[in-house]
Structure 1
Amino acid sequence: MACQSVAVVMDEQALLGLNPNADARYRQRAIAYFEQLKESQDAWEVCAEALAKGIYSDDHVKFFCFQVLEHQIKFRHCSLSAVQQQLIRETLMKWLQFQLMNTQPEKAFIRNKAAQVFALTFVMEYMTLWPKFFFDILSLVGLNPHGVDIYLRTLMAIDAEVVDRDILHTPEETRRNTLIKDSMREQSIPSLVESWFQILQTYQQSHPELTCQCLEVVGAYVSWIDLNLIANDRFVNLLLSQMSMEELREEACDCLFEIVNKGMDPVDKTKLVESLCQVLQSAGFFNVEQEEDVDFLAKFSRLVNGMGQSLVLSWTKLAKTGNVKDAAETLQAVEAKVPLLLQLLVHEDDDISANIVGFCYEYLHVLKQLPQLTDQQKANIEAIMLAVMKKLTYDDEYNFENEGEDEAMFVEYRKQLKMLLDRLAQVSPELLLEAVRRVFTNTMQNWQTAPFMEVEVAIRLLYMLGEALPAAHGAHFSGDTAKTSALQDMMRTLVSCGVSSYQHTSVALEFFETVVRYDKFFIVEPQHIPGVLMAFLDQRGLRHNSPKVRSRVAYLFSRFIKTLHKHMNAFVEDILTRIQDLLELTPPENGFPALLTSDDQLFMFEAAGILIVNSESPVERKQALMRSLLTPLMDAFRLLLTKLPQETEEERQTALADCLSHAVGFASRTSKAFSNKQTVKQCGCTEVYRDCLQAFLPALSCPVQRSVLRSSVRSFLHRMIICMEEEVLPFVPAASEHMLKDCEAKDLQEFIPLISQITAKFKRQVSPFLQQIFMPLVLAIFEVLARPAEENDQTAALEKQMLRRSYFSFIQTIAGSGMNEVMANQGAENMERIVFTIIQGAVDFPDPIAQKTCFIILTKLVELWGGKDGMVGFPDFIYKHIVPACFLAPLKPTFDLSDAQTVLVLSECALTLKMIHLKRGLEFIQFLQQEYLPSLQVAPEISQELCQVLQQPDVKVLKNYIKVRVVVLSWFTAEFTCFISTNDLFLCQQAFFQRGKL
């Protein structure tokens, strides 16, 4: 044997490093030793010998030896000699023989690793070297429990390697696995099935853990073997008997589920499910109420779900093929399971109920397709409705203030129930509406004495109807009293019965959610608005004792106001008075907990702004109301801003800066109320917002917490550019000057969109300002980009990349806005420097997004300055720099045509060439043919071909040509001239491919 020729012994010092408690030095040595054994031609054989002879008792060493063997089989099996392959087989069988003699089994992690190695060997050798794999193992193992354990683990490992659909396989591995399964079916499966039966029968009393393992194996293999080998009297009777054994019943249930799930002919599947059901029913398993083991019932519910879904699938197939008789029988079988379905659906344990939802959903889908429903089917629908309504109910243990994992699971379960409710609405909207109406009305009549969960679910059902029912069935409010819908009746009851006073968090939240969902109701019946507004504003809503309720109600209140502001005119000032304390900026030294967080206050300020802007008050009154809303923010801002630089503690500085930022954010949020119909100017609020700008802009020069302050003020400026029109322009130069001082990459990157926004909106109005700020901004960008950074600092590299993109985007905005004088007036030297950065961006940086922008800019510059009456000297620049850029960019090794963004770069490159031809005409064609392309040693006929394509009117022709030809040509110089001159594109591409570039 090969191991006898190996004089090497294992490195005992290295093995010490396998112990989890070993120090780093020993661990490093163990890793190095592992790598050495993996790569050696034969040194690994010492591991085989150690396993075959049982030399080591240390678990970690044994596991190590299996890992080394695993690597040899997985990655080097083909390069092993026949003798070495034989050595592996013998090693595994000898190790297995040791297990049969041991009184104590190996640790589970070693048995699992051994099973993996057995499975890998099987996959490599079963079809060729070891066709008797299973025979050899079964002959050796017999019914020895230790051996059976390894055998079953190996079968599960083989399933993972060959069958498991969750594991991705290459096409070659898939073909191999198919051949292995075919061969196993032919040669081994009957013997394996017989061994499973013997194991299940032999060990069900003495070794339940082995029996459970075997049931798992049967469940895994049944999907692809002959079902008749398993679905027969002796096997099914055995499984059913094990369904009654406490330690086996869950695994037996899972095994039956896999049997039922197997793909089959629909008629045969119906027969299988029905025969199984009869036996289960006879054995008393359908008496769900008498079963106390909820874990088993959860498994049983999953089994029933599988049986039900299988029957529905069979019915669907039979109905599609027009097999009326068998379809009717299958539907009857489905209907017969509904009583059991209902028992499981309504079970108090949500896991048991959740496991049957799939079948319930599919059954309702069947009913939806039937032309007419029987009385029994209508009764089933009603029973499912009642079950869903009952199961939607919270239990006493639900923790509303501190939701954990259990609460999250119930929320997910509720989503499943909502799917059922939606499906019920599709099957019988009238029945659903009537059922909800009955539950809702009864509960609202007695809400004062009803438990919170009943009140909450009644309102919840009303809320859910909005999505479940189509508008044709009353999910709208017509205003026509003759057509008053059930939904309208229920909404009237909701807002008038006093349930908004119910003290439980869940009821309060559900009330406000429902009110806002059906806000259109108040357009039809506006008389209810005052009562609901009071609920929002008092201790039922914004002043509720639960922070969770207050927070959610703040958002819902803004939604309510946004929809119904036209009906709020009479209440505007009253509302503003009542929420005044909720609009106060809370400074950090306050010490009192605020009713609302700053995020919640944003919604309140937005609501206040909407009320003021959309009121019917005269302009002067709107201005006064907006000033009274914003002046406290400005006053507090000025006060806190003077305090900030005096603070020495960083934590205190951060708190003050956050507070200042909130103040700016609140003011900004009020501006969302303005629209094209109600502008700042029309509402008389220009002066108020101008005052805000004067109050906030000094924060830009604050020496501490600059990032937070600059960000908030910059966001405010963005809003003011949108809302204030040209009134904002006087503030922009000073703001820009402050923001360009001591910049970081991120500061500049965020500042550029502001200038781009101003440029795009005001165009020539800001031309003088842009001419003034252009070079300071560009120089600041250049300075930041030139700063050295650590080689591996990915964050800094990304920030520079994003800044570079923003810079090019800014130049694009300037050029695209028709303000070429902004760049033209920067002086020849500065202008040249800028255009060179565009050329550099187009060619040198492996960033296709930036490259695309650069080519767009170059096209625009050629359009502006490249004509006969363009900028002096620019035509020379085109020929010296822009034309080469169009050919050099695709020449870069990083230019990846498999990337969609890079393909777009190529298109823009083509457009640049097209624009040059448009502006320079024949002169450009002659330059290409006589100077530039010959300098690249491109054959004359190819030059002529390119120039002909350039002169065609359809730019798509040029884009396609460049994609398939110019990129290739630009790579080939003298060494490929022979290919190019033959005009053989295939040979070009082949040569290109050999260079690794295509």
Structure 2
Amino acid sequence: MACQSVAAVMDEQALLGLNPNADARYRQRAMAYFEQLKESQDAWEVCAEALAKGIYNDDHVKFFCFQVLEHQIKFRHAGLSAVQQQLIRESLMKWLQRQLMNAQPEKPFIRNKAAQVFALTFIMDYLTLWPKFFFDILSLVGLNPHGVDVYLRTLMAIDAEVVDRDILHSPEETRRNTLIKDTMREQVIPSLVESWFQILQTYQQSHSELTCQCLEVVGAYVSWIDLNLIANDRFVNLLLSQMSVEELREEACDCLFEIVNKGMDPVDKTKLVESLCQVLQSAGFFNVEQEEDVDFLAKFSRLVNGMGQSLLLSWTKLAKAGSVKEATETLQAVEAKVPLLLQLLVHEDDDISANIVGFCYEYLHVLKQLPQLTDQQKANIEAVMLAVMKKLTYDDEYNFENEGEDEAMFVEYRKQLKMLFDRLAQVSPELLLEAVRRVFTSSMQNWQTAPFMEVEVAIRLLYMLGEALPASHGAHFSGDTAKTSTLQDMMRTLVSCGVSSYQHSSVSLEFFETVVRYDKFFIVEPQHIPNVLMAFLDQRGLRHNSPKVRSRVAYLFSRFIKTLHKHMNAFIEDILTRIQDLLELAPPENGFPALLTSDDQLFMFETAGVLIVNGESPVERKQALMRSLLAPLMDAFRLLLAKLLQETEEERQAALADCLSHAVGFASRTSKAFSNKQTVKQCGCTEVYRDCLHAFLPALSCPVQRGVLRSSVRSFLHRMIICLEEEVLPFIPAASEHMLKDCEAKDLQEFIPLISQITAKFKRQVSPFLQQVFMPLVLAIFEVLARPAEENDQTAALEKQMLRRSYFSFIQAITGSGMNEVMANQGPENIERVVFTIIQGAVDFPDPIAQKTCFIILSKLVELWGGKDGMVGFPDFIYKNIVPACFLAPLKPTFDLSDAQTVLTLSECTVTLKMIHLKRGPEFIQFLQQEYLPSLQVSPEISQELCQVLQQPDVKVLKNYIKAFFQRAKL
């Protein structure tokens, strides 16, 4: 076929759409053309020919042709004729031949795609049709740089398809890949290695890019080929010479890393690493201080890390095998690398340091296992400690007020250092404690003149000891050990040396974090509490000029008070006076920025609550203090609610509603201070919380911003049901009435747990109220569920599903709490209506969670009303509706017996059948055998079998039988 005719066969108009700047119409046409070529039996051949003959100069068209070929090889290879498969191979080789003659190579994205297509063809054809794949390519490209480039890219693409462990392969692909590797090892690997050596040698001066590519190939393949082909004098010397060439050294380093990482016999591994080390050392690479290229040093650090970890792994294997001599030699080899390890660990560039942490961590792990440490090993531990302490220090550039990517990376790096610190504590707690004490004491003596990073890290180290040194139940300060007294000395210094006044946010934060970490210290030495309280309360803490510090301190203060509330008695009223302005509700039109956010204020209110409730004041005093804490919230709430009702502008309404919601949240949070030992009643606070209810409940009928207001008042009611006991009951009917007016699915769904909570807690006490609220609630639910929704409105569908679940849970709570009368007194039509919804829920909606609840309810109703003295007409309902539900639900196509939730539903369905038999006896068996099962076309033998199993006492046997029964029925 002539060039012109091929060009004519290609749809020129469609090809215009391949240009990224083409308009949408052309792009669409190009997409349609792509699909057409992919699916056609032979239309793709024009693409193969276009590539082979170089018909098109446009890069996007060339890429397009490769994509079409890729699709044929990937998805249709087996369906191609031998001639077509041959055509693909020949076209690729012709394309490659053209590359050798081109003055300019193709764009990298085309070369990468070509390499992928070569690799896919290799995978399909190498074992059967193209065993000479590599020899054909090598003999064609020789040492032509354009050809070598495609060859190397193809090798990397083959590695990605055949070797890469991150890609999941099917068992079939895994078998094929193993066979390919075995065949390559036998037939071509020595030739490939020879080609790599030639490429590395030929191009290291002239084409650094090709040399780097080749080093990457060697690194990728070394994991599964015979190491002796690479780890020999000529190859290693070549790699080492490239370690001295600036453009190649990073790739050479990576290549050596892969060689060192290869799994092998521990003795051989030690020899390999040692010989590499000797050469690197004599070539001057261990003189880290003289190296200025940090990118290279990061790679070198990774290489040293790999060598160190390899040696440690060898030591572990040898020690386990009892090879004492070899293990000793390997450990000596490790120890010889420690000076280099320390130089890299302490390097000012964190990437270089981070890359060696693994070696360091595992070295410490080995030291921990040794029965006794030498003086040198102890010195090494100390050196690691000093390095960790030095590297934990912030640098001048760290931006505390606006933390970006660099700061985030340092925080991550600090976590790695913390692992080392914790490991040091396991290896030698005494040495660590002593080292920290030295650094800490020295910094605290000079804190006024020391830079912030030194002071911060000193306190940080004390903080980190708390996690690193195991404390039995936080008992860092009990017992008479060196640790106890050292920690106690450091804490005493921390809280009395005045460092809390240091003017830097990082030091302030570290001070308060440490005080709270070691709050048990103040139980042993309570004389320091007043000083620390003042630090919390003044410009060092809650009034610090940094919002970040104030926010964190609000939380830490609440923790401090919770732990030490028994020691606060003398300071309660003073603290409450000092924090009074921090407890004020910030009205939206204030204009002044508040010291604390509303989230921070929650902690302050909880703290105030804890102080009042746990103080030793008489009940009257507690009552007065709690009222003075909550009355301003109630007053502000009434004023703001009145304002909201008059406000017309939506943005102001939202701001006011937020403020009202905060007021309720604050009052709610104070109630967290009560406990079983200190109840609301015992503290004389019942009345003040009742007053809060009176103040807050009117918000439920507010016509604007209903979602926010209802949500906060409902949360408050939840808390009051827990704290106020039956005192809360008079408020529930009115609250319910408001919440059931004009409600949405979400409102109801959030209201039901409140009713369920009341039902579970007060049971009989709330029976009259439940009888009264039952039908209004049920009708409100029905009304919302019946509202039409847009067909594709996923949110509305999900809200309805959740509401339906909540509704069934509510019925379950009622039937399960022994209050039979709540439903029984609703009148026959209403009962029937409700029970039909349960039947519907069990059968019609493919939601196994709701279906399971429905069967639990049906089983309970049968238990309550299905016996001889049960509800009139209910036995008839059982036979007409409940029994069919137990069979129709599992027979539905959506009832998936391979799904765990659905199996639980079937289990409850089985329990329901068992309960019917328990209540109705032989009459039920007769109904099944003579009426119901025949109506389902169940054979008499199976019917009899099922009825026999039903009459057995063991429910487990029945459950297994029913599951098998429905599995058979669905075949």
TM over 0.5: yes
Show the counterpart of 1:456.
Answer: 456
**How far has the Cα of 1:119 moved from its partner?**
0.5
Which range moved further: 540-549 or 895-904?
Answer: 895-904
Deviations along 1:524-572, whole A, 9 cap, x unmatched? 1111111111000000000000000000000000000111111101100
Question: Residues 747, 2 of structure 1: CA spacing in aligned structure 2 closer, same or farther, 3 A cutoff?
Answer: farther
Q: Distance in 1 between matches of 2:373 and 2:3?
A: 76
Q: Answer yes or no: is the 8 Å Cα contact 1:740–1:748 preserved in 2.
A: yes
Q: How many residues align?
A: 971
Distance of 2:8 and 2:106 partners within structure 1: 26
SS in structure 2 at match of 1:8: helix
In the alignment, is the contact (CA less than 8 A) between 1:8 and 1:46 conserved in 2?
A: no
Aligned-pair distance for 1:478?
1.5
Following superposition, the deviation at residue 995 of structure 1 comes to 10
Q: Is the 8 A contact 2:14 2:33 kept in 1?
A: yes
Q: Which secondary structure does the structure 1 equivalent of 2:19 belong to?
A: coil
Secondary structure, counterpart of 2:862 in structure 1: helix
| 1:195 CA drift (Å) | 0.7
Q: Report the alpha carbon displacement of residue 2 of structure 1 after superposing the two structures with TM.
A: 13
- Tell me: CA distance 1:677–1:857, structure 2 relative to 1, closer, same or farther (3 Å): same
Is the 2:476–2:484 Cα contact (8 Å) retained in structure 1?
no
Q: Secondary structure at the match of 2:164?
A: coil
Moved more, 734-743 or 219-228: 734-743
Other-structure match for 2:819? 819
- Per the alignment, do residues 993 and 849 of structure 1 end up closer, same or farther by CA in structure 2, a change over 3 Å counting? closer
Whether the 8 Å CA contact 1:770–1:822 is kept in 2: the answer is yes
Structure 1 residue 482: deviation in Å?
10
8 Å Cα contact 2:644-2:653 kept in structure 1: yes
* Residue 470 of structure 1: how far off its partner (Å): 1.5
1:387 deviation in Å? 0.7
Alpha-carbon distance, 1:922 to partner: 1.9
Distance 1:340 1:468, change over 3 A: same
1:272 aligned residue: 272
Tell me how far 1:493 sits from its aligned partner: 1.1
User: Aligned to 2:205, what secondary structure does the other structure show?
Assistant: coil
CA 1:103–1:75 in 2, change beyond 3 Å: closer, same or farther?
same
Kept in 1, the 8 Å contact 2:475–2:520? The answer is no
- Output the CA distance in 2 between the equivalents of 1:6 and 1:445: 87
Q: CA deviation at 1:475?
A: 5.8
- 1:621 Cα shift? 0.8
- 1:260–1:475 Cα change, 3 Å: farther
How far apart are residue 940 of structure 1 and its match? 2.3
Deviation at 1:939, TM superposition (A): 2.3
Instruction: Find the residue that maps to 2:69 and give its secondary structure.
Output: helix
**1:931 positional shift:** 1.9
In the aligned structure 2, how far is the partner of 1:764 from the partner of 1:8?
88
Could you tell me whether the CA contact under 8 Å between 2:855 and 2:905 is conserved in 1? yes
Equivalent residue number for residue 869 of structure 1 = 869
Give SS of 1:184's match.
helix
Is the Cα contact below 8 Å between 1:398 and 1:407 reproduced in 2? yes
Match of 1:995 among 943, 968, 971: 968
Farther-moved stretch of structure 1 (522-531 vs 296-305): 522-531
* Residues 962, 2 of structure 1: alpha-carbon distance in 2 compared, 3 angstrom cutoff: farther
Change (3 A) 1:7 1:390: closer
CA contact (8 A) 2:891 2:970 kept: no
Structure 1 distance, partners of 2:887, 2:967, is: 21
Unaligned regions of 5+ residues in structure 1, if any?
A: 964-990
Query: Contact 2:311–2:333 (CA<8 Å) still a contact in 1?
Result: yes
- In structure 1, how many angstroms separate the alpha carbons of the residues matched to 2:98 and 2:787? 68
What is the Cα deviation at residue 655 of structure 1? 1.1
8 Å CA contact 1:2–1:84 kept in 2: the answer is no
Unaligned runs of 5+ in 2: none
Matches within 5 A, 1:400-415: 400-415=400-415
The runs of at least 4 aligned residues of structure 1 exceeding 6 Å deviation read: 1-8, 479-483, 991-996
- Relative distance call for 1:992 and 1:960 in structure 2 (3 A) is closer
Q: Which shifted more, 318-327 or 574-583? A: 318-327
Moved more, 789-798 or 307-316: 789-798
Q: Which residue of 2 aligns with 1:55?
A: 55
* Contact preservation (8 Å) 1:479, 1:524: no
Sequence identity (%): 94
Confirm or deny: 8 A CA contact 2:859 2:911 kept in the other structure: yes
1:18, 1:473 → 2: CA distance?
68
Relative to structure 1, the CA distance from residue 83 to residue 992 in structure 2 (aligned partners, 3 Å threshold; closer, same or farther) is farther
User: How far, CA to CA, are the matches of 2:264 and 2:39 in structure 1?
Assistant: 48
Distance 2:299 2:932 in 1: 77
Q: Which residue of 1 aligns with 2:218?
A: 218
The superposition leaves residues 903-922 of structure 1 with CA deviations (integer Å, 9 ceiling, x where unpaired) of: 11111111111111111122
Deviation of the 1:645 alpha carbon: 2.8
CA distance in 1, matches of 2:105, 2:522: 74
**Contact map agreement 2:890 2:966 (CA 8 A) in 1:** no
Pair 829,129 (structure 1): closer, same or farther in 2 beyond 3 Å: same
Listed one character per residue, the Cα deviations across residues 400-420 of structure 1 (whole Å, up to 9, x for unaligned) are 111110011011011001101
Deviations 1:405-461 (A, max 9, x none): 001101101100110111111111111111111111111111111111111111111
What is the CA distance between 1:480 and its match in structure 2?
6.3
Matches within 5 A, 1:614-625: 614-625=614-625
User: Do structure 1's residue 95 and structure 2's residue 95 form an aligned pair?
Assistant: yes
Which residue does 1:78 correspond to in 2?
78
- Shift of residue 925 of structure 1? 1.8
Single out whichever of 373-382 and 8-17 deviates more from structure 2: 8-17
Change (3 A) 1:272 1:557: same
Change (3 A) 1:744 1:597: same
Structure 1 residues 704 and 65: alpha-carbon distance in aligned structure 2, compared to 1, 3 A threshold? same
Quote the offset at 1:4 in angstroms: 12
Q: Output the CA distance in 2 between the equivalents of 1:812 and 1:484.
A: 55
Q: Cα deviation per residue 1:690-740 (whole Å; 9 max; x = unaligned)?
A: 111111111111111111111111111111111111111111111111111
Instruction: Report deviation, 1:897.
Output: 1.4
The DSSP-based 3-state class of the residue aligned with 1:791 is coil
- Give the drift of 1:744: 0.9
1:772-813 deviation digits (Å, cap 9, x = unpaired):
111111111111111111111111111110000000000000
Map of 1:161 onto structure 2: 161
Q: TM-score, normalised by structure 1?
A: 0.96
Distance 1:384 1:631 in 2: 58
Pairwise CA distance, 1:997? 4.9
**Take 2:953 and 2:528, find their aligned partners in 1: how far apart are those partners?**
67
Is the contact made by 1:469 and 1:475 (CA closer than 8 Å) also made in structure 2? no
Q: Deviations over 1:341-361 (max 9, x none)?
A: 001001111000000000000
Q: Secondary structure at the match of 1:128?
A: coil
Q: Distance in 1 between matches of 2:659 and 2:7?
A: 76
Q: How far apart are the structure 1 equivalents of 2:104 and 2:591?
A: 66
Conserved 8 A contact 2:6-2:50: no
Structure 2 CA distance, aligned partners of 1:219 and 1:504?
48
Aligned CA distance change for structure 1 residues 465 and 25 (closer, same or farther; 3 Å): same
* Residues in 1 aligned to 2:864 and 2:44: alpha-carbon distance in whole angstroms: 73
Report the CA distance between 1:473 and its aligned residue: 13
Contact 2:808–2:838 (CA<8 Å) still a contact in 1? Answer: yes
Partner of 2:228: 228
More off after superposition, 866-875 vs 937-946: 937-946
Q: What's 1:592 paired with?
A: 592
Matches within 5 A, 1:338-349: 338-349=338-349
Moved more, 549-558 or 467-476: 467-476
| Maintained 8 Å contact 1:753/1:810 | yes
CA distance in 1, matches of 2:3, 2:491: 85
Q: How far is 1:485 from its partner? A: 2.2
SS for the counterpart of 1:351 is: helix
Indicate if the aligned counterparts of 2:7 and 2:55 stay in contact, CA closer than 8 A. no
Deviation at 1:481, TM superposition (A): 10
Q: Provide the C-alpha distance between the structure 2 equivalents of 1:390 and 1:636, rounded to a whole number of angstroms.
A: 53
* CA positional deviation for 1:941: 2.5
Per-residue deviation, 1:927:
1.8
In structure 1, what is the Cα distance between the partners aligned to 2:671 and 2:519?
24
Which whole-Å CA distance do the structure 2 matches of 1:475 and 1:611 have between them? 24
- In terms of mean alpha carbon deviation, does 629-638 or 271-280 score higher? 629-638
Q: 1:955, 1:333 → 2: CA distance? A: 67
SS in 2 for 1:310: helix
Structure 1 residues 123 and 307, CA gap change in structure 2 (3 angstroms):
same
C-alpha deviation, 1:943, in angstroms: 1.9
Distance 1:67 1:814, change over 3 A: same
Q: By how many angstroms is 1:996 displaced?
A: 11
Given that residues 243 and 250 in structure 2 are in contact (C-alpha distance below 8 angstroms), is that contact kept between their aligned partners in structure 1? yes
**Could you tell me how far apart the structure 1 residues matched to 2:876 and 2:73 are?**
67
**Contact residue 910 and residue 962 of structure 1 kept, 8 A:** yes
Contact persistence 1:474–1:486 (CA under 8 A)? no
Quickly say closer, same or farther: Cα 1:668–1:992, change in 2 above 3 A. closer
**Residues 7 and 596 of structure 1, relative CA distance in 2, 3 Å threshold:** closer
Kept in 2, the 8 Å contact 1:664–1:696? The answer is: yes
1:945-984 superposed matches below 5 A = 945-963=945-963
